[in-house]
Amino acid sequence: MRRDDISLYLGPADRARLETVLTDRNTPRKVVWRAEIILATADGYGTNAIMRRAKTSKPTVWRWQSRYLDEGVAGLLRDKTRPSRVPPLPRETRLTVIAKTVQEAPPNATHWSRSMMAEAVGISPSSVGRICAEAGLKPHVSRGFKVSNDPLFEEKVTEIVGLYLDPPDRAVVLCVDEKSQIQALDRTQPGLPLKKGRAATMTHDYKRHGTTTLFAALDVKSGMVIGNCMPRHRAREFLTFLRRIDRAVRKPRDIHLVLDNYATHKTPEVQAWLEKHPRFKLHFTPTSASWLNLVERFFAEITAKRIRKGSYTSVSDLEDAIYDYLAQHNIRPKPFVWIKSADDILTRERRALDALDGIRGNR
């Protein structure tokens, strides 16, 4: 195989870049000898001399000379994409994996794993993983849901969301609920502190020292929280908390309370007290729709930030921690911003009901 030596002009920018490649200690060896081939060619060396300098074959010298002429320095820094030695899976096999994942369940499990699907279809587990990833399927993941069956769902959602998005003037909108049965848990052994390369530790076992219930009222406008810890969450305790709210909100401002359908919120004693205090106006969330009450978001935050990882030797110790969190929160309160309109919520609710009806109809 013969080929005449070629003459190559190397611009200053390309020469500087190739020389940098040669001097960089992190440059892969194969890229180094590619740069040596081009630099030697530009310096007037013949093919045989370049072969000796780069310690490579004649076709290799010609290949990288041609690659530089076609693509410049960038062509030397990467390998050309070559077709895989493994033939791609047939389209029918891919569709089979997707169909079985979506429509069927394995005989001995609730969902498919990669290994079970691979055995059923006759391909490798990694192939199953790639097919599911490309199709956006995650059979090992599930999400909880609950569609409310409250006949007044639309009216209640419209009413409460209206309070969030357009609260009435000269009135206070409070989201009220109880976080019941908060346990004062004391870890059996002290955990190790956080350090580089190691997370903080805590024992999985604990000692119970009793429970408390946090009554909380979140002001929608300001984000401030009125809170009170009580041993139980009966109508008697709820009335005590209502009186606390009555004292905290100056008169004659109206008070709109967003509540769930817990029985203690509707007892005759509570109804009688509300009749004597007409500035209290109650708005009940739909059944199975506690997410509509903004105070639930506050409960999630106090649980994650103050309660869950704590260790408490008594109920009073736990309550002190809760009151301290409330005090710190109210120094710099930040309201939760409700962004979904009632129409958006009702549209999604109708779509969920239609999907459920379709599933029931296919059974």
Three-state SS sequence of 185-232: EEECCCCCCCECCECCCCCCCEEEEEEEEEEEEEECCCCCEEEEEECC
pLDDT tens-digit profile of 246-299?
999 988 899 999 999 888 888 999 999 999 999 999 999 999 888 999 999 999
Q: Which of 75-89, 175-189, 261-275, 322-336 has the lowest mean pLDDT?
A: 75-89
Among 222, 265, 223, which residue's Cα sits nearest to residue 241? Answer: 265
- Angle CA(348)–CA(353)–CA(354) in degrees, nearest 5? 95
**pLDDT of res. 112:** 93
- Reduce the DSSP state of residue 282 to 3 states and report it: strand
Contacts of 236 (CB under 8 A, 6+ apart): 269
**pLDDT of res. 1:** 41
Contact 174, 256 (CB under 8 A): yes
Measured CA to CA, the distance from residue 126 to residue 118 in angstroms comes to 9
pLDDT tens-digit profile of 220-237?
999 999 999 999 989 999
**pLDDT of res. 315:** 95
Region 109-128 average pLDDT: 93
In the numeric block, which tokens belong to residue 177?
Answer: 């609920």
Q: Which residue has the tokens 């998005």?
A: 165
Q: Which of 76-80, 138-142, 282-286 has the lowest mean pLDDT?
A: 76-80
